[in-house]
Amino acid sequence: MRNTYITPDTAILAAKAGERGLAFESKVVNQAMQYRGTEMDPQTARAIELMLRGSSAPAPNDAELQAELSAILTDMNGQYGAGKYCNAAGECRELQELESILAESRDYDELLDVWQGWRQVSPPYRKQYQRFVEIANQGAVDFGYKNLAELWKGGYDMDSHTFTIEARGLWDQVKPFYDELHCHVRAVLSDTYGADKVSLDGPIPAHLLGNMWSQTWDNLYPMLEPFEGVASLDVTAALKAQDYDEVRMAKTAEGFFTSLGLPALPESFYQNSMLKKPRDRNVVCHASAWDIDNGNDPRIKQCVEVNEEQLGTLHHELGHIYYYLMYKDQPSSFKGGAHDGFHEAIGDTIQLSMTPAYLKKMGLVDEVTESYEATINKQMKLALEKIAFLPFGKMIDEWRWKVFSGEIAPEDYNAGWWKLREEYQGIKAPIARTEADFDPGAKYHIPGNTPYTRYFLSFIMQFQFHKALCEAAGFDGPLHECSIYNNKTAGTKLGTMLAMGQSKPWPDAMEALTGQRSMDGSAIIDYFAPLNSWLKEQNKDRSCGW
């Protein structure tokens, strides 16, 4: 209720409910700890292990600290959801409106004003976040971990050190491709805004990348289109021309999953989901999926707008919903993704099958052009979303792990944030930032305390999953042309993995779908091979890096 009714009353209710939940979790973990090292059957051992991993916000055993932790999380989430920026002219805008300006405007000063304005939302809860870290770290200790970083990194069926190495190896596989993309985008932005604003050998100013957090760059596609006007896929225009609304868009996304032989959504999904932003109250518009009543009443919360991006987001959220539906008969301990990256990857894997041929079949584009130029254009658009995201997906939890472990002290929160953003993404703050700011908190997942490595892993695995499902479907051709739409063989393979939930360690689930027992970024390189070659040609006389 707190997500769809942000009021003082729901804050009290949510805090109390959260307090009870934290107390229950603490009780269960303490009981499970008694069985560490005890001989038991594999299924029970798996359940005990999952209980001991706890949550992203482990509550200490102390009841007062449990209450304080719940209140802090509830309040930070509410402050973010109700956030808005009022400019000097007295015009007040909520996040969605501010995001639209960043997506569409190319006025340097207007972009700077909006970028800076949204970041006024987060400093009021900087001290609350610091206190959250203190309490949750104590909770992690009570759960048997050194700190919260160790608990978070311990959720991947391997020790935290091994996981750190594994995640770094995945980034190393794809970083050279990201570097080529960064180099080309920076050159185009420098041509657009001038070398005095965008240096040809330094980081890119963060407000120029078409997104509030510079996490995806696909809104810049019109200025970066390699071959102007070739195979333009204006899905947004088609959606509007055909009078799509939020329900029809959701049903289109559902139709992809049912074409694979997966079950139809229960009618309650459309009755109980929030698909449109209410006019009469504040809500948390950040899209999310909810497993209500153990898979019997799944719902999504999304302020759907009629455009291509939101159609893709609906496919992503339904990926979560179908995971809920497929593992709903598992014991409660095993209701979850094989690891959290699996849950995030499913819907995005389906999105990779939304090829031009599929879109034509859906009546959302008029013609399909499979020329070299068309391929490069399509891959550029996707790379600005998927490849641009990878270092952002990696660095958010790098920052939190350092915060939780004490490597980044409270007095260095903002400096540590921008150091990592420059290191990983090659971007910089467009104006001076100080420790009076709290720029990490301007991203929902920080006050909402949602771990983020799952998204980095999912952006790697979705290409690995896509390749395996295309092979299962018998597709013979370039990976980027494959769509598994309406292929029941691929659907059976996907459904089998989903139904496993987290009953087995994730390498078992990975093997069930792909035949591999490790995460692998090589499918990304295969998928984007044409664009990678094109970028190298464009960059051959440029100085890349930052």
Instruction: Give the residue numbers marked as catalytic.
Output: 286-287, 316-317, 320, 344, 445, 455
Give me the sign of the Cα torsion angle 359, 365, 371, 372.
negative
Count CB-CB contacts under 10 A for residue 501: 23
Angle, alpha carbons 352-355-357 (nearest 5°): 155
Beta bridge partners of residue 93, listed in sequence order: 85
Distances (CA, A) of 496 to 321, 465, 511: 15, 13, 11
Give residues with Cβ within 8 angstroms of 103, minimum separation 6: 210, 211, 219
Q: Are 493 and 467 in contact (CB under 8 A)?
A: no
d(CA 543, CA 182) in angstroms, rounded, equals 11
The answer for residues whose C-beta is within 8 angstroms of residue 54's C-beta and 6 or more apart is: 25, 29, 139, 140, 143, 151
> Phi/psi at 286 (nearest 5 deg)?
-55, 120
- How is residue 17 written in tokens? 């409910």
Task: Read off the DSSP letter of residue 371.
Answer: S
**How many CB atoms are located within 10 Å of the residue 298 CB?**
26
Tokens representing 316?
């992503």
- Give the C-alpha separation, 354 to 349, whole Å: 10
CB 208 within 8 A of CB 191: no
Closest residue by Cα to residue 266 from 294, 241, 244, 245: 294
Strands 84-86 and 92-94: antiparallel
Q: CA angle at residue 165 from 339 to 419, to 5 degrees?
A: 100
For helices 108-118 and 95-104, the axis angle rounded to 10 degrees is: 150
Query: Which residues touch 450 (CB under 8 Å, ≥6 apart)?
Result: 56, 444
280 CB-contact burial (10 Å; exposed 0-12 / middle 13-18 / buried 19+): exposed
Closest among 425, 419, 377 to 182, alpha carbons compared: 425
The rounded radius of gyration (Å) of the Cα atoms in the chain is: 23
End-to-end CA distance of the chain: 45
Indicate the SS3 state at residue 345: helix
Which DSSP symbol is given to 264?
P
Q: Are the C-beta atoms of 490 and 473 separated by less than 8 Å?
A: yes
Adjacent-strand bridge partners of 92: 86
